[in-house]
C-alpha cells in the first residue's frame, strides 16, 4: 500500500483537505468567503493561499496549501540540519483569529518534506489559544485530539501533547502560547511507523480540524463582551505575534529563506496590543487564564 503514497498522492490529499476545510469554514462563518491567491515560486512549485477577513465569526485567517520544490540554499540546509539540497515540500497551514474575545485562536499544520528522494518526513498538529481558558472546552479539545491519536497509536497523544507543550512556549514570558494540543515534526517512516500509518494519521489530523474548530469556536461566537475583555484579547494577540515572529520555526525559516511573506504572515492577527508590564488582577478571569498557560496540564485525563 505504501508504494502508492508518493509526492503526488500526498499533495492531492492535502489539497482535498484544504478544499474541505474552506467549504466547512465558509458555512460556519456565514458572513465571509475565502479569497484565493494562487502563486508560483521562482525556484519551483507554488501554492494556493486562501484568506478570510471580517467574517461573522472569523476576523482574520488563512487556510494555505503549498507545494514547492527546488534547491535549498546552503543556509536553509544548515538550518534544517540536512545533507543534500534538492527538496520537495508540501503542506497545509491554518490560523484563524475570531472577532469575539470568547472565541479562541486556532492553528493547524500538516506537512511533508523530502530531500534528494531519500530522507523524508511528516509533521503536523493542532493547537488552541483561548483568550480566556474555559476548562471544559480545553478538556473537550484535548479529548478530541486524543481520540484521533489513539485510533492510530496508543503512544501518540502523550508524546505529541508534550511536544506541543514544549514547542508552543515563550521562554521570554515563561508561558505557553495557549492550551497546546498536539505537535509532531520530522517523523520519518520506519518499521514501527510505516509511511501509510504516518500519512493516514496526518490526514486524520487534517480532517479533524474543521469539526473541532466548529465545536470550540461556534458556541461562544455571539457572547457579549466588555471593553476589558477586548483589551485582554488584544494583549493576548500581542503574545501570539511574539511567539510567531520570535520563536515559530516555520515562520522564521520561511522568512529567512525567501518564502512568500504574505502567505507566511497570514498567521498574524488583525490587531494586537502591548502595554508595559501589563499585570492581571489577582482573582480575576485574566489571572485564572494566566495561571493555566503552562506546560504539563493533563487536559485529556
> Could you tell me how many residues of this chain bind a second copy (CB under 8 A)?
32
Catalytic-residue membership of 97: no
CA dist 277 and 263 (Å) reads: 32
Minimum gap (Å) between residue 237 Cβ and a second copy: 9
Using CB atoms within 10 A of its CB, is residue 194 exposed (0-12), middle (13-18) or buried (19+)? middle
User: Is 240 in contact with 272 (CB distance < 8 Å)?
Assistant: yes
Candidates 54, 68, 93; CA nearest to 244 is 93
The full length of the chain comes to 301
The residue whose grid cell reads 504516518 is 198
Instruction: Please tell me whether residue 79 binds a second copy under the rule CB under 8 A.
Output: no
CA dist 180 and 297 (Å) reads: 9
* Cell numbers for 81: 540540519
Minimum gap (Å) between residue 34 Cβ and a second copy: 11
Query: What sign does the dihedral 139-140-142-146 (CA atoms) show?
Result: positive
- Report the residue number, 13 or 103, with the smaller CB distance to a second copy: 103
Instruction: Please tell me whether residue 262 binds a second copy under the rule CB under 8 A.
Output: yes
x/- letters, 197..236, toward a second copy (CB under 8 A):
-------------------------------------x--
Q: What angle do CA 182, 187, 190 make, to 5 degrees?
A: 130
- Report the residue number, 245 or 292, with the smaller CB distance to a second copy: 245
Instruction: Please tell me whether residue 280 binds a second copy under the rule CB under 8 A.
Output: no
Candidates 130, 127, 63, 117; CA nearest to 85 is 117
Q: Which of 69, 97, 107, 247 is catalytic?
A: 107
Instruction: Please tell me whether residue 288 binds a second copy under the rule CB under 8 A.
Output: no
Minimum gap (Å) between residue 14 Cβ and a second copy: 21
Please compute, for residue 166, the number of CA atoms within 13 A of its CA located in the half-sphere on the CB side.
9
Piece of 140-148, 165-173, 203-211, 284-292 that binds a second copy (CB under 8 A) = 165-173
Q: Which of 245, 285, 290, 294 binds a second copy (CB under 8 A)?
A: 245
- Report the residue number, 187 or 234, with the smaller CB distance to a second copy: 234
CA dist 165 and 206 (Å) reads: 20
Q: Which of 69, 273, 294, 295 binds a second copy (CB under 8 A)?
A: 273
Candidates 187, 265, 179; CA nearest to 216 is 179
- Report the residue number, 152 or 253, with the smaller CB distance to a second copy: 253
x/- letters, 22..41, toward a second copy (CB under 8 A):
-------------x-x----
Q: Which of 242, 285, 292, 295 binds a second copy (CB under 8 A)?
A: 242
Contacts with a second copy by CB under 8 A lie at: 35, 37, 51, 53, 60, 62, 171-173, 234, 238, 241-242, 245-246, 252, 255, 261-262, 264-266, 268-277
Residues designated as active site: 107
Amino acid at each position: 500500500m505504501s508504494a502508492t503514497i508518493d509526492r503526488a498522492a500526498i499533495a492531492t490529499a492535502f489539497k482535498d483537505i484544504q478544499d474541505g476545510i474552506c467549504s466547512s469554514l465558509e458555512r460556519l462563518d456565514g458572513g465571509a468567503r475565502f479569497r484565493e491567491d494562487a502563486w508560483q515560486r521562482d525556484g519551483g512549485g507554488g501554492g494556493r493561499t486562501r484568506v478570510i477577513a471580517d467574517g461573522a465569526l472569523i476576523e482574520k485567517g488563512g487556510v494555505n496549501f503549498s507545494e514547492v520544490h527546488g534547491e535549498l540554499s546552503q543556509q536553509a540546509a544548515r538550518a534544517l540540519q540536512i545533507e543534500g539540497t534538492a527538496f520537495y515540500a508540501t503542506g497545509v497551514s491554518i490560523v484563524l483569529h475570531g472577532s469575539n474575545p470568547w472565541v479562541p485562536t486556532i492553528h493547524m499544520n500538516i506537512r511533508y518534506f523530502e530531500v534528494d528522494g531519500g530522507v523524508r518526513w511528516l509533521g503536523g498538529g493542532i493547537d488552541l489559544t483561548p483568550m480566556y481558558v474555559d476548562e471544559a472546552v480545553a478538556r473537550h479539545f484535548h479529548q478530541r485530539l486524543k481520540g484521533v491519536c489513539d485510533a492510530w497509536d496508543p503512544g501518540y497523544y502523550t508524546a505529541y501533547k508534550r511536544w506541543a507543550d514544549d514547542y508552543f512556549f515563550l521562554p521570554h514570558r515563561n508561558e505557553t502560547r495557549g492550551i497546546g494540543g498536539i505537535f509532531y515534526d520530522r517523523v520519518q517512516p520506519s518499521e514501527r511507523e510505516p509511511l501509510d500509518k504516518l500519512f493516514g494519521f496526518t490526514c486524520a489530523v487534517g480532517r479533524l480540524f474543521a469539526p473541532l474548530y466548529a465545536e470550540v469556536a461556534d458556541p461562544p461566537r455571539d457572547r457579549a463582551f466588555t471593553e476589558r475583555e477586548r483589551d485582554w484579547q488584544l494583549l493576548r494577540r500581542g503574545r501570539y505575534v511574539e511567539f510567531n515572529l520570535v520563536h515559530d520555526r516555520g515562520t522564521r525559516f520561511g522568512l529567512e529563506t525567501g518564502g512568500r511573506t504574505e502567505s507566511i504572515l497570514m498567521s498574524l492577527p488583525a490587531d494586537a496590543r502591548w502595554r508595559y508590564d501589563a499585570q492581571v488582577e489577582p482573582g480575576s478571569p485574566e489571572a485564572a487564564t494566566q495561571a493555566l498557560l503552562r506546560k504539563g496540564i493533563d487536559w485529556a485525563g
